[in-house]
Structure 1
């Protein structure tokens, strides 16, 4: 089975995370040479899923996880957004006077299918959506990413050598910026600015936010 293009990242529980998620998605799919119509649909769907995750009742220190994959074999772009919030999103039928409530209707209209799965330990949920995208370019062996998009298991080039990331954590620096703390397969812990570019090898991670559960559409 072909190894999918994929990336995972986490977002703080603040409104600015919605445009940040869109920007990261756009940068990644641009590198994959994705069709503009699919890109536009993916941006709208991810915006709705992240917005819903941020609205879910959850502790402020719990981040929102995003995992994006493309399977060449299936020709599907999969977006997963996980949160530690209560409840499950449901499609509503708002009246013309309602100001909101149309987000999942948009998700239904733009995707091949979507669904929800409970996370392990019954803490929160993962909402996933799949968009037909058969013409994405082949998997890249190496590509440049921002440090903030790293996930445990990634292989990155640091100081001229390939290293495997064992864990990654974001934190505020003394200057007020945002840094990523990387624990690697060997050697000391590394601290990098969140926006620092790194070279990463494509890996074999699957479903960092959870696998497919209850389906819709």
Structure 2
């Protein structure tokens, strides 16, 4: 099961899968508050790895697997792309007039290290790259706020997991008290809480030492 410091997903074998992979990485790096340099290098490397995997001949309509992980705290960003094809990719040194063959060169240059592993389950291989990513934080801060102050787009913790808020409405109890109904984006049961009841949300530090809630990132389906 994925943890807060990783995300895994599968891609169909089509050209739109490359921008989709970049979008997922961009959302995750935004959640981890990665710097611009780390984000740019990560998107470049992941694009090349996915592009190479899509070009590999495979049996049937096999999907491409992607795994994004932050290792340590502000240390390494690991990108893995798995395909069902045979063989091992090698870095080519194309000449100045060659139009292709530079994919792994574009991976090798920004990467701290990279390699190829056989898949532990199933056929094929996993090509991976690790990039230095100083300042990346896989564990966003958390803060408790009153339920009545929760807003759509924020990430709240309920039933042991994080959920993105789709909508919030309030209604009066017969006794006159205020109840808050929080509708979740994943379609799970809504939360019904007293207005003053505390709820844990993801947060980030801002200027002046104050802590404010932030919205959760959305991973394309």
- TM-score of the aligned structures, taking structure 2 as reference length: 0.62
Listed one character per residue, the Cα deviations across residues 60-116 of structure 1 (whole Å, up to 9, x for unaligned) are 421000000102347100000001012111000111111100111111111100000
2:30 matches 1:43: no
From the CA coordinates, give the structure whose radius of gyration is larger: 2
Q: Distance in 2 between matches of 1:27 and 1:65?
A: 18
Aligned CA RMSD, in angstroms, stands at 2.5
Q: How does 1:59-70 map to 2 (within 5 A)?
A: 59-70=59-70
Show the counterpart of 1:109: 109
Q: Distance in 2 between matches of 1:138 and 1:69?
A: 9
Q: 1:159 aligns with which of 165, 170, 189?
A: 189
Q: How does 1:15-164 map to 2 (within 5 A)?
A: 15-73=15-73, 75-120=75-120, 123-140=123-140, 158-160=188-190
Moved more, 76-85 or 131-140: 131-140
The structure-2 alpha-carbon separation of the partners of 1:137 and 1:195, relative to structure 1 and needing over 3 Å to count, comes to closer
Q: Which has the higher contact order (CA 8 A, sep 6+)?
A: 1
1:51 is displaced (CA, Å) by 0.5
The structure-2 alpha-carbon separation of the partners of 1:98 and 1:74, relative to structure 1 and needing over 3 Å to count, comes to same
Q: Distance in 1 between matches of 2:72 and 2:220?
A: 29
Aligned residues: 153
- Runs (5+) with no aligned partner, structure 1: 145-153, 162-193, 197-217
1:126 is displaced (CA, Å) by 0.2
Classify the secondary structure of the residue corresponding to 1:137.
coil
Moved over 3 A (4+): 140-144, 154-157
Classify the secondary structure of the residue corresponding to 1:120.
coil
Q: Distance in 2 between matches of 1:113 and 1:74?
A: 17
- Runs (5+) with no aligned partner, structure 2: 143-153, 164-187, 192-218
- TM-score of the aligned structures, taking structure 1 as reference length: 0.64
Q: Distance in 1 between matches of 2:4 and 2:108?
A: 24
The question of whether the paired residues in 1 share the 8 Å contact of 2:20 and 2:220 is answered with: no
